[in-house]
């Protein structure tokens, strides 16, 4: 049965997280976790819809909504089977549109919008196949997997043939890893104890609660006040004990020289990594910091715009941990390319999550990484923050410090109609009454 | 007299250049040269307005308009004197806004919008001082000059003190260079003979006409058809003769390996540079290409998002020519930072121009570079394309192959009311009737 993408709707959804300072950090002091939320409809009788979203933190979400509208002529009217058979080609048409690419290319609002649309196509595809997205990809042949990827600008670091080689090497043992994931889940770490805007006693209480729930890896926020950084690191280390894993996140607050200096007094707390020590665009700066602060690792990626930036972060030996965001990149199609790059360069992927819908996305990406691409859990874990999951139809399921593999068809990103209605900006009930 | 920024209007202006293929290249095959056009008003009785625009090529311009609206709360209501006294601080507030930066940071639609606003402030400032922008800056002390710059993320390559040193070294001789510029103008090269979509006979005719008008430096477009590249290069070289300077522009059409390969048969035409051989984000890729194709130079910058990218292009030895765009960067405030970086690293700046309003902007930037920063014309020239200038109140004046220094107060970017009305999209008469 032929199926055509017959419609696209896009909504501006915002949650007022700035009221509690959940999500706050050194740079993003008052985020309202938000989504540019896309629904694709088709002309088929089964009424299956594709849902996709991109994450923002409030103001500016309306700009991404406008960018989705600018792209929609590239999807509405398309034949679904053609799309599904050539996701790499579809991705190239979206990102290389002759006029629209000027306002990127492959970065900023237009690329965030691309992610919402591309992920909605993946959700639709998985629902039609009645599989969760991770399983849809895990059931692809290596040839089908690489057909989802646009290799433009990658070939000096990763060719299609090299990608096939990586995928084929893990192909025979996929079933074992899939069974393991269904049984044990995927390792995770928790961020939500350490938001910047929280007072000490709240951080202490959240650390204790997280420990009691089985968490063993904790991330804290650091910033431009060195004394405050040391104070917070000491407090959290005291609560979680010497053996728990601690990570630190500066959220781009520092210049290169400052990063090296600010990390000096923090080394004694034994952080596994410093995340986003400086500008997300500064590949060479990250490499300089990494050389200077060894053995502390350098992590970045949630603001790295596209696969070309990740290619260079790896070529330059700039990072120990790759933290791409499945909707900062142009959706899963580009994320698959970065998984392959990371496997080639031997860099573990620990995807950015914690924002509205990001945990829901990230679990699929890491399952694909383990089952199909890297075949390894070494130094790999998914970020987790314990809020906003109640708005999703199939929220993540976490047991202890692991994400359990999702079973529902699709990309786990479909929000509840009541949440969409309440948090739509500015007309929803949560915004009208405040 | 105190003066407050009392209003901001923004308009979507598009010219239908795709109808003639003016501006076409290997990637942007059908551009409609466009502007997100901003006007700032104040509460002063003199009715002086600040005009600024950012350049796009059609679809997506409405997304940049939305981004201007998202930023306007950061300028409307501001005290003008405070802004003018601390342009660097103003720039940091625009680009580091805690929620809006998520949809950049400092890239894509939000950064293009930043440029329109920042340049409108510069236009207002210069008009109030009754000077062209280049002269306003040329009359600043080194201390005033650096106060216009945000050094965030630059300090590992360029500190405020180093910037002062560069400016002080040229300070005593500024008047000589200013006099020379007023007399002789600034060197330029022409792009408009070689647009991709033009047939051979039109290219030949345009080369002849340009030669007759005194042009001596010519840029052509190249792309993914190697035979067509050679054909066009041979044709233009035949028309312009062996001594004229020829540059080539691939507009991001190639992967890194392809760039090296496609340039091999073109070397015999003796190009000064290959421009945008690959992704604008690929610092390391440009460095690889540069090493491989010497002595042909590598040029890029019109799509480089911000000063952090230029910092790395210079640190990595990736470019021979720096071609930033005064509205791809976040306006003149960021362009001044890149001029200083380029001077420190000894890389000549040849600003991107040719688009709607870009020649008008670029002349100011290059005059500032020569008079205040680099003090050199070696290997420096401004791009020129001979179209769309009729829409400006103070269009560029070109004599032979040089831009004459503009005299009118402001940034030369104010468009004629009739042009704004006719080309407003989609309601203007040029769009309604087609």
User: What SS3 string covers A307-344?
Assistant: HHHHHHHHHCCCCCEECCCCCCCCCHHHHHHHHHHHHH
Rounded mean pLDDT of chain B? 96
Residue A220 lies in a domain: yes
Residue A103 sits in the same domain as residue A175 = no
Residue B150 lies in a domain: no
Written as one string, the DSSP assignment of B114-181 is HHHHHHHHHHHHHHHTTSBHHHHHHTS-HHHHHTT---TTTTTT--HHHHHHHHHHHHTTHHHHHHHH
Distance from B26 to chain A by nearest Cα, in Å? 10
pLDDT confidence bin for B432, thresholds 50/70/90: confident
Last residue of one domain, picked from the residues A85, A119, A152: A152
Residue A313 sits in the same domain as residue A219 = yes
Spatial CB neighbours of A173, under 8 Å, sequence gap ≥ 6: A375
* pLDDT of the residue at A423: 98
Global pTM?
0.98
Residue A111 sits in the same domain as residue A188 = no
Q: Which of B62, B109, B312 sits opposite A108 (nearest CB)?
A: B109
Residue A184 sits in the same domain as residue A229 = yes
Residue B92 sits in the same domain as residue B177 = no
Q: Which residues of A touch B341 (CB under 8 A)?
A: none
Distance from A86 to chain B by nearest Cα, in Å? 21
Burial of residue A299 (CB within 10 Å: 0-12, 13-18, 19+) is: buried
* pLDDT of the residue at A1: 65
Instruction: With a cut of 60, say whether residue A434 has pLDDT above it.
Output: no
Instruction: With a cut of 60, say whether residue B237 has pLDDT above it.
Output: yes
* pLDDT of the residue at A197: 81
Percent of chain B past pLDDT 90, that is, above it, reads: 95
Residues in chain A: 434
pLDDT confidence bin for A348, thresholds 50/70/90: very high
Determine the average pLDDT of the residues in B385-403.
96
**Cross-chain residue pair A152–B255, CB shorter than 8 Å:** yes
Most A CBs within 10 Å, among B109, B300, B317, to test the A interface: B109
Distance from A98 to chain B by nearest Cα, in Å? 5
Residue A107 sits in the same domain as residue A193 = no
Phi, psi values for residue B246, rounded to 5°: -120, 135
CA dist B316 and A34 (Å) reads 37
Q: Which residues of B touch A32 (CB under 8 A)?
A: 99
Q: Which of A63, A255, A280 sits opposite B70 (nearest CB)?
A: A63
CA dist A37 and A48 (Å) reads 16
Three-point CA angle A352, A355, A357, nearest 5°: 95
User: How many CB atoms lie under 10 A from the CB of residue A49?
Assistant: 17
Most A CBs within 10 Å, among B60, B256, B260, B426, to test the A interface: B60
If one counts the domains in chain B, the total is 2
Residue A9 lies in a domain: yes
Q: What is the CATH number of the domain that holds B10?
A: 3.30.390.10
**What b/e readout covers A117-129, taking b as 16+ CB neighbours within 10 angstroms?**
bbbbbbbbbbbbe
- Is the CA virtual torsion B164, B169, B174, B175 positive or negative? positive
Question: How do residues B322-371 score in pLDDT, each as one tens digit?
Answer: 999 999 999 999 999 999 999 999 999 999 999 999 999 999 999 999 99
Most A CBs within 10 Å, among B102, B113, B282, to test the A interface: B102
Residue A187 sits in the same domain as residue A277 = yes
Instruction: With a cut of 80, say whether residue B96 has pLDDT above it.
Output: yes
Question: How do residues A190-208 score in pLDDT, each as one tens digit?
Answer: 998 877 788 999 999 999 9
**Cross-chain residue pair B103–A112, CB shorter than 8 Å:** yes
Phi, psi values for residue B339, rounded to 5°: -60, -45
Q: Which residues of B touch A303 (CB under 8 A)?
A: 105
* pLDDT of the residue at B24: 87
- Domain range for A203 is 170-419
Question: How do residues B157-195 score in pLDDT, each as one tens digit?
Answer: 999 999 999 999 999 999 999 999 999 999 999 998 877
Instruction: With a cut of 90, say whether residue A125 has pLDDT above it.
Output: yes
Question: How do residues A358-393 score in pLDDT, each as one tens digit?
Answer: 999 999 999 999 999 999 999 999 999 999 999 999
B391 annotated active-site: no
* Residue B311 · residue B157 · CB < 8 Å: yes
Determine the average pLDDT of the residues in A204-221.
95
* pLDDT of the residue at A312: 98
* Residue A326 · residue A351 · CB < 8 Å: yes
By annotation, the residues of A acting in catalysis are 221, 352
Phi-psi region of B405 (alpha: psi -120 to 50; beta: other; left: phi over 0): beta
Residue B204 sits in the same domain as residue B299 = yes
Q: Strands (DSSP E) along A21-130, which ranges?
A: 34-42, 50-56
CA dist B312 and B338 (Å) reads 11
Q: What is the CATH number of the domain that holds A361?
A: 3.20.20.120
Spatial CB neighbours of B132, under 8 Å, sequence gap ≥ 6: B126, B364, B405, B406, B407, B408, B409, B410, B411, B412
Q: Which residues of A touch B303 (CB under 8 A)?
A: 105
Count Cβ–Cβ pairs < 8 Å, chain A vs chain B: 194
Residue B102 sits in the same domain as residue B31 = yes
* pLDDT of the residue at B193: 81
CA dist A74 and A93 (Å) reads 8
Residue A311 lies in a domain: yes
Last residue of one domain, picked from the residues B111, B132, B153: B132
List alpha helices for B252-306, DSSP H. 256-263, 283-293
Residue A257 sits in the same domain as residue A384 = yes
Residue B86, classed as helix, strand or coil, is: coil
Residue A427 lies in a domain: no
**Cross-chain residue pair A102–B60, CB shorter than 8 Å:** yes
What distances in angstroms separate CA A232 from CA A197, A198, A221, one per listed residue? 12, 11, 9
| β-strands B398-399, B50-56 pairing | unpaired
DSSP code of residue B347: P
Question: How do residues A253-312 score in pLDDT, each as one tens digit?
Answer: 999 999 999 999 999 999 999 999 999 999 999 999 999 999 999 999 999 999 999 999
Residue A134 sits in the same domain as residue A182 = no
* pLDDT of the residue at B194: 73
Determine the average pLDDT of the residues in B246-260.
97
Based on its alpha-carbon atoms, the radius of gyration of chain B, rounded to whole angstroms, reads 21
**Cross-chain residue pair B64–A103, CB shorter than 8 Å:** yes
* pLDDT of the residue at B434: 56
Residue A429 lies in a domain: no
Cα separation of the two ends of chain A: 48
* pLDDT of the residue at B1: 65
Residue B138 lies in a domain: no
Tell me whether the omega of the peptide bond preceding residue B426 falls within 30 degrees of 0, making it cis.
Answer: yes
CA dist A110 and A12 (Å) reads 15
- B402 beta partners: B187, B399
**Cross-chain residue pair B281–A98, CB shorter than 8 Å:** no
DSSP code of residue A369: I
* pLDDT of the residue at B197: 81
CA dist A343 and A333 (Å) reads 16
Determine the average pLDDT of the residues in A16-41.
93
Instruction: With a cut of 70, say whether residue A333 has pLDDT above it.
Output: yes
Residue A388 lies in a domain: yes
* Residue B26 · residue B254 · CB < 8 Å: no
CA dist A246 and A175 (Å) reads 33
Q: Which of B111, B311, B352, B364 is catalytic?
A: B352
Q: Which of B29, B255, B288 sits opposite A98 (nearest CB)?
A: B29
Distance from A96 to chain B by nearest Cα, in Å? 8
Of A133, A11, A7, nearest to A75 by C-alpha is: A7
What distances in angstroms separate CA B166 from CA B161, B198, B279, one per listed residue? 9, 44, 31
Last residue of one domain, picked from the residues B77, B112, B132: B132
* Residue A68 · residue A111 · CB < 8 Å: no
Q: Which residues of A touch B70 (CB under 8 A)?
A: 59-60, 62-63
Q: Which residues of B touch A255 (CB under 8 A)?
A: 152-156
Express the helix, strand and coil content of chain A in percent, nearest 5 each: 45, 15, 40
Distance from A109 to chain B by nearest Cα, in Å? 6
| β-strands B50-56, B34-42 pairing | antiparallel
Question: How do residues B210-233 score in pLDDT, each as one tens digit?
Answer: 999 999 999 999 999 999 999 999
Residue B266 sits in the same domain as residue B396 = yes
């Amino acid at each position: 049965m032929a199926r055509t993408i017959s419609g696209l709707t896009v909504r501006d959804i915002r949650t007022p997280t700035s009221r509690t300072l959940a999500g706050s950090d050194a740079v993003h002091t008052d985020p309202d976790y938000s989504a540019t939320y896309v629904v694709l409809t088709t002309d088929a009788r089964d009424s299956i819809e594709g849902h996709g979203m991109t994450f923002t933190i409030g103001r500016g979400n309306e700009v991404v909504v406008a960018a989705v509208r600018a792209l929609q002529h590239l999807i509405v009217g398309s034949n679904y089977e053609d799309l599904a058979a050539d996701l790499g080609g579809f991705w190239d048409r979206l990102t290389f549109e002759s006029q629209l690419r000027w306002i990127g290319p492959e970065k900023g609002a237009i690329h965030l919008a691309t992610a919402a649309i591309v992920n909605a196509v993946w959700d639709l595809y998985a629902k039609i196949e009645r599989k969760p997205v991770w399983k849809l990809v895990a059931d692809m042949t290596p040839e089908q997997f690489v057909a989802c990827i646009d290799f433009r600008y990658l070939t000096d670091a990763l060719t299609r043939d090299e990608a096939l080689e990586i995928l084929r090497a893990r192909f025979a043992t996929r079933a074992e890893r899939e069974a393991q994931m269904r049984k044990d889940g995927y390792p995770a770490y928790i961020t939500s104890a350490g938001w910047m805007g929280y007072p000490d006693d709240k951080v202490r209480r959240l650390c204790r609660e997280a420990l009691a729930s089985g968490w063993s890896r904790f991330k804290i926020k650091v910033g431009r006040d060195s004394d405050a950084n040391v104070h917070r690191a000491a407090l959290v280390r005291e609560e979680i004990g010497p053996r728990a894993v601690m990570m630190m996140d500066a959220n781009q607050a520092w210049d290169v020289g400052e990063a090296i200096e600010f990390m000096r007094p923090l080394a004694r707390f034994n952080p596994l990594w410093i995340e986003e020590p400086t500008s997300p665009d500064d590949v060479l700066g990250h490499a300089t910091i990494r050389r200077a602060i060894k053995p502390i690792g350098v992590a970045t990626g949630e603001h790295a715009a596209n696969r070309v930036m990740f290619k260079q972060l790896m070529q330059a030996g700039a990072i120990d941990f790759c933290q791409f965001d499945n909707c900062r990149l142009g959706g899963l199609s580009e994320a698959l390319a970065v998984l392959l790059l990371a496997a080639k360069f031997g860099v573990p992927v620990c995807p950015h999550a914690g924002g509205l819908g990001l945990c829901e996305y990230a679990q699929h990406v890491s399952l694909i990484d383990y089952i199909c691409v890297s075949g390894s859990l070494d130094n790999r874990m998914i970020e987790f923050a314990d809020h906003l999951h109640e708005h999703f139809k199939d929220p993540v399921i976490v047991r202890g410090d692991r994400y359990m593999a999702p079973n529902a068809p699709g990309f786990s990103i479909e929000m509840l109609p009541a949440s969409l209605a309440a948090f739509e900006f500015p007309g929803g009930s949560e915004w009208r009454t405040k």
